[in-house]
Structure 1
Amino acid sequence: MIDPSLAFSFAGPLAIAGWLGLIAASFIRTARPYAWPAAQILIPAILACLYALLIWQGRSAFGDGGFGSLAEVRALFANDHALAAGWLHYLAFDLFVGAWIARDGAERAVPALLILPCLPLAFLFGPAGLLLYLALRWIFSVARKES
C-alpha cells in the first residue's frame, strides 16, 4: 500500500529533476537525448503508475466525490488518496507538456532564451506556460513566412 504523503514527498523532487533536465537541455544539446525522454516519458510514466495506485487504493473512500459539480470535486479531494493523485496528475501532465514545449521549440528553432520562461510558467501554472509558448510559436511561424 502506498502512503499518499510518501507519494507526494517522492513526486515533487522527481518532477523537479525533469524540469531541471528540460532547462539544461534547452542550452546543452548533448543533454537532449537523455533529458527529453526522461521528462516526456520516464518521469510522467512513474508518476502515472503512482497515480493509478493511489486511485485504486482510495477508490472505496471517495464517497460523495465526483466531477459533476464544484461541491463534488471538493468532496472527492477531501480524500488523501485522491488529493495526492490529483497532485501527481498535475505534475505528470505539466511535465509532459513542458517536454513537448522544449522539443517543439528546438525543432522550430525558437531561441532557448524565449522558451526558458515558458517552462517554469508551465510548471507553476500549466496552461499559462502552454499559452505563452503557443503565442511564441505562432509569432515565429508568421515571421518565417514573411521572410
Structure 2
Amino acid sequence: MNWDTLFSLTNAVAMLGWLALAVLPRRPLTLSAVLYLGVGLLCLAYATLFILSIGQLIDPVRIAGTGEPDLLDYSIAGLRPLFMSDGGIVIGWTHYLAFDLFVGLWIARDADSKGVGRVVQLPFLFVTLMAGPIGLLSWLLFRETRSRRSSPVDG
C-alpha cells in the first residue's frame, strides 16, 4: 500500500470538489458531482481504508516502536498509536477532507438559497477548506447576523 499515493489522490478528489464549488455554475449536476464524486468517494475511501486497517489487512507503516492502537481506549494515549503511522494519518486526513467538503457544499447551497453572492461565499468556503469548524462557525454567525438584520423587529 502506497500511503503517499493515496494521500495525493484523496487531496486531488477534495480539491476538484472545492474548485467546482468555487467556480462552476451551481447546477444540480455540479452539486451532485461534488456530493457523490467528491464527498461520496472520500467517504468510500475512508471506510475502506479504515476497515482494512482495523482488520490488519493492510500495513499502516507504523513509526518504529509504536504499539497497536486500542480503539476502545478513547484517550489521547489510547489513540496516539493510530496516528503514529502513515495509514493512520491518511485515514484521518481523508476523514477531514470528506467532512470539510460536505460542510462546504452545505454552506454553498445555503448561501445560494439565501441569495448570498459567490464573492461573499468564497472567503467562508476558503476558511472551511483550511480550518473546517472555523469556516462553519463563521458562516453560521454571518447567516444569523444577516437574518436578524433583514427580519422585521416585533414590538
- The separation in 1 between residues aligned to 2:82 and 2:51, in whole angstroms, is 14
- The separation in 1 between residues aligned to 2:124 and 2:69, in whole angstroms, is 37
Alignment counterpart, residue 70 of structure 1, candidates 63, 66, 76: 76
- The separation in 1 between residues aligned to 2:77 and 2:33, in whole angstroms, is 37
Matched, 1:114 2:110: no
| The structure with more helix, counted as a fraction of residues | 1
Whether contact under 8 Å (2:100, 2:129) holds in the other structure is yes
Runs of at least 5 residues in structure 2 that lack an aligned partner in the other structure: 61-66
Deviates more, 1:71-80 or 1:116-125: 71-80
Instruction: In structure 2, give the amino acid aligned to 1:8.
Output: F
Runs of at least 5 residues in structure 1 that lack an aligned partner in the other structure: none
Name segments (4+ residues, structure 1) moved above 4 Å. none
Deviates more, 1:121-130 or 1:70-79: 70-79
Whether contact under 8 Å (2:14, 2:101) holds in the other structure is yes
RMSD: 2.0
- The separation in 2 between residues aligned to 1:118 and 1:35, in whole angstroms, is 19
Rg (Cα) greater in structure: 2
Give aligned pairs, total. 142
1:16-64 per-position Cα deviation (integer Å, ceiling 9, x unaligned): 1110110114xx4xx4323322222321111111111211221136813
- The separation in 1 between residues aligned to 2:2 and 2:45, in whole angstroms, is 10
* TM-score, with length taken from structure 1: 0.86
Instruction: In structure 2, give the amino acid aligned to 1:36.
Output: L
Q: Secondary structure at the match of 2:138?
A: helix
